[in-house]
Amino acid sequence: MSDVETKRTKYSETEEEALRFGFGANWADYLEKHYSEERLGIAQRHLLGFLKLDDLKGKSCLDIGCGSGLHSLSAWRAGARPLFSFDYDPKSVTTTRLLRQLAGDPAEWQVVQGSVLDDAFMNTVPKADIVYGWGVLHHTGQMWKAVQNAGSRLHDNSLFYIALYATDAFTDPTPEYWLGVKREYNRAPYVKKRWMDWKYAWNHSIRGNLKARKNPLTCIRAHKKSRGMSYWHDIRDWLGGYPMEFAGNKETEIFCRDRLDLSLINIKAGEANTEFLFCRRGLESQWSGLQAAEPLVALPGPFAPVGGFAWRATVAGGASALGEAGRLMLYENGSPVGWPKAGIDFIQAWGRGRYTVDGDSVVFSATDNTDPNVTAARYHYRRNFI
């Protein structure tokens, strides 16, 4: 596939380097101020939950762009052996080595500096059962090359767990708007950066919490519950994270299918980063007993228009047939969509695979926003999967 495009403004090499965000410095500060066993446990549960595994015993793991080292240590605590971690930023390497010391400096855990874009270096990196790159590959300046090089470290039975910024999630403002914000942030002096941090926090969480009569401090403290990260460090990572590229969820699936011979087996969309889990094509059935325990069920057509990009499919057996509403996974032509619990107004306005359970039916949109009755796309669901 040659015409997959990412959203990113092109600058000269000198400008790119001047605008590059100090990811390692941000994560070193996080480690110093916020690391705890509680956060480590949260990160580990997130990692295993998306992989649908109880632990990583007997599995090797590669952490590409290890950042703070929190998720490398999570994998180690979950039983991954051997573990190989690397990052482009020397400060990220240093923070990860500090966490390696907490694990007793094990010989089976290597932490090195290197770039996923460096072909010679990547040829020295061992292949692994779990190849992990969360929120990293889109910051390299050459995202598709980074994805391809990361995928070169897969063997036939590997799982490929990556998270990338998705154009599907950025409707208003657009990806181009955020690229401009990132350039401004990285050019700004210290005081202006902190003002931009607070402005973002006010516009995107604090103001809304106050209007809903929620305590903003409670919500800020609860931020760690997703992956064990820190609210303010994640804001700085988002505002400053440059270079940056975006791609559509379907584009990423197609790229990994065509270039790496992979099948998408799990996806979590709806936030800035979309999480993807791939395995070799043809080996999907080996991945998880959950797929046998919760088989695919056809979503019956014809589909009734709801308005905009939204369509409704009523399911025989009522709401009980759909299982726990927030855990239903929708599939389009055999591929998971993974954008649950969207508001019906958002499904109507933006589509792109958003869906929700509404009583005894599923309100959904096609990933390409077409009429599913005309295209004859096949839709299924799996209960209690997410």
Residue 58 — pLDDT band, cuts 50, 70, 90?
Answer: very high
Residue 30 — pLDDT band, cuts 50, 70, 90?
Answer: confident
What is the phi/psi pair of residue 285, to 5°?
Answer: -70, -20
Q: How far apart are CA 18 and CA 304, in angstroms?
A: 52
Mean pLDDT (whole number) for 260-279: 93
Q: Where are the alpha helices (DSSP H) in the chain?
A: 13-19, 23-34, 37-51, 70-77, 90-102, 119-122, 143-151, 175-187, 190-201, 207-211, 216-222, 231-240, 249-260, 290-293, 344-350, 372-375
- 61 strand-pairing partners: 83, 130
Say what the pLDDT of residue 211 is.
82
Mean pLDDT estimate for the chain: 89
Q: How far apart are CA 81 and CA 83, in angstroms?
A: 5
**Six-digit token string for 337:** 């969509």
Kindly list the distances between the CA atom of residue 263 and the CA atoms of 106, 225, 284, 357, in Å, as whole numbers in the listed order.
34, 29, 7, 26
Mean pLDDT (whole number) for 304-313: 97
pLDDT at 87 over 70: yes
Mean pLDDT (whole number) for 145-164: 97
Say what the pLDDT of residue 4 is.
46
In the block, residue with structure tokens 């996806």 = 267
pLDDT digits (tens, 9 = 90+) for 212-249: 888 877 777 777 666 666 788 888 888 988 889 999 99
Q: How far apart are CA 126 and CA 122, in angstroms?
A: 8
Mean pLDDT (whole number) for 70-96: 96
Q: How far apart are CA 101 and CA 95, in angstroms?
A: 10
* In the chain, where the domains are located: 1-288, 290-382
pLDDT at 3 over 50: no
Residue 284 or 117, more confident: 117
CB-CB contact of 337 with 329 (8 Å)? yes
Residue 118 — pLDDT band, cuts 50, 70, 90?
Answer: very high
pLDDT at 156 over 90: yes
Residue 11 — pLDDT band, cuts 50, 70, 90?
Answer: very low
Find the range with the poorest average confidence among 16-20, 256-260, 356-360: 16-20
Predicted TM-score (pTM) of the model is 0.89
Say what the pLDDT of residue 228 is.
67
The share of the chain scoring above pLDDT 70, in percent, equals 92
pLDDT at 5 over 80: no
pLDDT digits (tens, 9 = 90+) for 188-201: 999 999 999 999 88
pLDDT at 84 over 90: yes
Decide which of 3.40.50.150, 3.30.360.10, 3.30.200.20, 3.60.10.10 is the CATH code for 1-288.
Answer: 3.40.50.150
Say what the pLDDT of residue 263 is.
95
Say what the pLDDT of residue 290 is.
58
Say what the pLDDT of residue 33 is.
85
**Six-digit token string for 150:** 């990361």
